[in-house]
Amino acid sequence: MMKRIFVFILIVPLFMIGNNACKKKVEKPISKLDTAIYNPTAYHFVNPTDFPYMQLSTSNPMTVEGIRLGRMLYYDNIIDKYQARSCGTCHHQDKAFSTPGNIIPHINIGYSSYFLWNGGVKGTIEDAMKFEVEEFFETNVSYLNADAEYPYYFFKAFGTKQITAQQVAYALAQFIRTLVSGNSKFDKFLREEVNFSNQELDGFNLFYSEAGDCFHCHGVMLFTDQDFHNTGLDTTFTEANYGRYTVTGNPMDKGKFKTPTLRNIELTGPYMHDGRFHSLEQVIDFYNAPTVMSATLDPIMSKPNHLSGLNLTDYQKQSLIAFLKTLTDTSFTINTDFSNPF
Ligand code: HEC
Ligand code: HEC
């Protein structure tokens, strides 16, 4: 809230002085486009310990200049056809880039190849950003080409003087690839830098055993199997909860949704594709209760231990939650490389 008030106070007078004056604050003084040199600095992407390999793009190599530009675009309404909103309007860093609604946060999505709850966008992160730019925001590149500063930043990133929609998507993709969370208490525990409390350890053991049975779908290190499941939230399916079926048209996909990561889960509520649960307690109660059969129910959720209910004690439920909270990575949510640069 403080931040919003601050931004508001800052932006209003600047708008009165002249358009886009607020961009002058970015990192370093703007040199003239005419004399600018294209000499991008390669960005060395460091994968956190034990993470799977992130497939980087050969047609969109990460550079310091490209990431800087992507970060600016992420927080700038200029990419919106109506100039009314930016990515940052909905995706909030302090909530691990989720929103107050039911959004899959951008955490480690550089490792994904399906995006959105129903996997409606498939491919690389470049493809996902192409969708955002062309279909969701309907970006009008003439705003960017006419801007006092963006042509310079695009030239520094891509070496051309005409800005294209593909470059907008590519810059955003470079920035999003850097949004990696791999430094939670859980990661430090694995690296033997910190200890877990007894309760966190009990939760860890429940999570990774048949007793809690979470690891099949929310496996290490990304806490998602990148697949789609019907976990038994509903037994009847209509347009509102068709999920994956909307994309594939296969009746066996009704009610299946993408497994979301559990990293930073403490910060990303409400939970599930429709935000039906407001607390982790409610989520655990759901998994603990006997599952109700339906045609597309996941085989894991139709095992006897789920059909009769996991029967976790209150202490065990609290332990699972204590473990889930070890996935909070404040170095991610306060990282100034990811924050609004304006
Ligand atoms: C109006 C609010 C809003 C704005 C603005 C917005 N998003 Fe989203 N975003 C959402 C919602 C809601 C979802 C989840 C939709 C779904 O899964 O069906 C989402 C999902 C995503 C996903 C999929 C994540 C995953 O793991 O599947 C990506 C990637 C994404 N947004 C990127 C962006 C980018 C980049 C921008 C700016 C160009 C942006 N969003 C702007 C609301 C917004
Ligand atoms: C069969 C695969 C599967 C198993 C087993 C499973 N989950 Fe999930 N989980 C999912 C899917 C899929 C979703 C999204 C469901 C939806 O919204 O329709 C989800 C959603 C969640 C969410 C909400 C995430 C968000 O961002 O909204 C939490 C928290 C969660 N699971 C924790 C757990 C825990 C804890 C366990 C073990 C007790 C567990 N899950 C077991 C697949 C699974």
Q: Rounded to an integer, what distance in angstroms lies between the CA atom of residue 21 and that of residue 15?
A: 7
Q: Could you list the pLDDT tens digit for every one of the 342 residues in the chain?
A: 333 333 333 333 333 333 343 444 454 445 588 889 999 999 999 999 899 999 999 999 999 999 999 999 999 999 999 999 999 999 999 998 987 777 778 899 999 999 999 999 999 999 999 999 999 999 999 999 999 999 999 999 999 999 999 999 999 999 999 999 999 999 999 999 999 999 999 999 999 999 999 999 999 899 999 999 999 999 999 999 999 999 999 999 999 999 999 999 999 999 999 999 999 999 999 999 999 899 999 999 999 999 999 999 999 999 999 999 999 999 999 999 999 999
Tell me, using a 6 A CB cutoff, whether residue 85 lines ligand 1: yes
Q: Which of 83, 104, 130, 338 to mutate to test the pocket of ligand 1 (most atoms within 8 A of CB)?
A: 104
pLDDT at position 291 is 94
Cα 164 to ligand 1 centroid, rounded to whole Å: 21
Cα-only R_g, the chain: 22
pLDDT at position 140 is 97
Tell me, using a 6 A CB cutoff, whether residue 177 lines ligand 1: no
Tell me, using a 6 A CB cutoff, whether residue 173 lines ligand 1: no
Cα 261 to ligand 2 centroid, rounded to whole Å: 9
Atom of ligand 2 at shortest range from CA of 207: 37
Cα 217 to ligand 2 centroid, rounded to whole Å: 7
Length of the chain: 342
Q: Which of 259, 267, 298, 313 to mutate to test the pocket of ligand 2 (most atoms within 8 A of CB)?
A: 259
Q: Rounded to an integer, what distance in angstroms lies between the CA atom of residue 108 and that of residue 125?
A: 11
**Assign residue 324 a region: left if phi > 0, alpha if psi is -120 to 50, beta otherwise?**
alpha
Atom of ligand 2 at shortest range from CA of 231: 1
Atom of ligand 2 at shortest range from CA of 228: 12
pLDDT at position 31 is 56
Q: Rounded to an integer, what distance in angstroms lies between the CA atom of residue 229 and that of residue 234?
A: 12
pLDDT at position 32 is 80
pLDDT at position 101 is 72
Q: Nearest bound ligand to CA 274?
A: 2
Q: Nearest bound ligand to CA 247?
A: 1
pLDDT at position 30 is 54
Atom of ligand 2 at shortest range from CA of 258: 12
pLDDT at position 240 is 92
**∠ CA 314-320-324, rounded to 5°:** 145
Distance of alpha carbon 257 from the chain centroid:
16
pLDDT at position 68 is 98
For atom 39 of ligand 1, the residue with the nearest CA is 87
Under a CB-based contact definition with an 8 Å cutoff, are residues 232 and 63 in contact?
no
Atom of ligand 1 at shortest range from CA of 115: 27
For atom 12 of ligand 2, the residue with the nearest CA is 259
- Of 262, 228, 237, the C-alpha closest to 115 is 228
pLDDT at position 222 is 96
314 burial level (CB within 10 Å; 0-12, 13-18, 19+): exposed
Q: Rounded to an integer, what distance in angstroms lies between the CA atom of residue 279 and that of residue 285?
A: 10
Cα 113 to ligand 1 centroid, rounded to whole Å: 15
pLDDT at position 334 is 95
Distance of alpha carbon 210 from the chain centroid:
28
Q: Nearest bound ligand to CA 208?
A: 2
pLDDT at position 221 is 95
Sign of CA dihedral 127, 128, 132, 133: negative
Atom of ligand 1 at shortest range from CA of 119: 27
27 burial level (CB within 10 Å; 0-12, 13-18, 19+): exposed
Residues with CB under 6 A from ligand 2: 212-214, 216-218, 229, 231, 233, 257, 259-260, 262, 265, 268, 271-273, 283, 287, 298, 300-301, 320
